[in-house]
Structure 1
């Protein structure tokens, strides 16, 4: 993507009413105004669902169409990517969707305790090299952040083409005593996966399936409802 096109998208994001772009310093100081107040942004108390590392927001948009009674927030630091999802949401009148441009490492400063009901992590970078462990979205540090913002019984979903990421996450969960609700190494061939996991596919997921690459999925919850 050319620099001019990126600049135009950044300008568009600044004008889109469904794109929130807090300053990092603002968040670190605890001054982010929507923390503990996301219900006021959406104008209702419907459950809030996050997609972390949402990219173009394909999953966020698809889930929001399937579940109009929930509010969806796509989180990503790449402004040129979330532009696509935000623009589509505006054009299709999706009032239960917005996009938050921020680092995922700040997630516990962006949402208050118990404010989130579900978290989706779809096709994250597995960060295979050991020195990149701290960047894996299911390492212990991130899990503690998710635990802090999830409501009782809240669910975390991980859908990935990376067998390494799937296995790593299972190991972390088992080692930490966090119960796994569901786990499948090949959801399109083994059967039994939830419908919303099978019916929603990203562009890259379709590419993986065309090359006959297995897609894995697991879900877990820190506490019972």
Structure 2
């Protein structure tokens, strides 16, 4: 469903206590957003924030940042705050390709790629978040032993991602092509898309890979 433009949504994000807008334009390092040294987890493409908030609620000792490049979606994410919302996350209105600009090197413990755009056209393959160019970015900001966790319903994107990760030297820690029919479903937090796909009977692919 196409989201409707809401007047003043960018201004709303600028003033929202849980949102950070375009930190790369201010030379701001997101490592400074929390007054602690807890591990940092980043979700690229947080949508309306279901996964981000529920995961933050379950893990109060981890700092979370949910990146969202669509102002319409980031606005709705910020509007979806619930009672007793966890205080260990921020919504970041920006593109995920600026990670090296807004995080210190070797400072992120985990990156989540949940149901990313598959960019199916051959001419668009460099836009996929598991393309070698993005993997190089992740290498720089992930700490030693840092991980990528990926979920998708798109089989072609999943196979492509596996090939890219292996070719680039990443260690595959786990891999399943039917998450909800596997042992790995324990403690799984579903996204909005995932809930819909599971209801439709689609199988969900998941992998976890460790930085070379």
Q: Establish whether TM, by shorter chain, passes 0.5.
A: yes
Give structure 1 regions of 4+ aligned residues with deviation exceeding 6 angstroms. none
**Deviation digits for residues 118-156 of structure 1 (CA, Å, limit 9, x no counterpart):** 100000111111111111000000001001000111110
How far residue 62 of structure 1 moved from its aligned partner, in angstroms, is 1.1
User: Which one of the candidate residues 159, 162, 165 is aligned to 2:157?
Assistant: 165
- Please say if residues 174 and 207 of structure 2, whose CA atoms lie closer than 8 Å, have aligned partners that are also in contact: yes
Q: Aligned pair count?
A: 210
User: Greater share of helix residues, 1 or 2?
Assistant: 1
Q: Give the drift of 1:69.
A: 0.6
What is the 5 A alignment of 1:15-30?
Answer: 15-22=15-22, 26=25
How far apart are 1:91 and its partner, in Å? Answer: 4.6
Q: Is 1:32 matched with 2:24? A: no
Counterpart in 2 of 1:202? 191
Shift of 1:23: 6.3
Aligned match of 2:56 in 55, 64, 68? Answer: 64
Q: Is the 8 A contact 1:74 1:99 kept in 2?
A: yes
Partner residue of 1:139 out of 127, 131, 147: 131
Structure 2: give runs of 5+ residues left out of the alignment: none
TM-score (norm 1): 0.87
1-side partners of 2:37 and 2:47: how far apart? Answer: 26
Query: SS of the counterpart of 2:145?
Result: strand
Candidates 69, 84, 102, aligned match of 1:77: 69
Q: CA RMSD in A?
A: 1.7
Distance 1:86 1:2, change over 3 A: closer
Scaled by the length of structure 2, what TM-score is found? 0.92
Structure 1: gaps (5+ residues): none
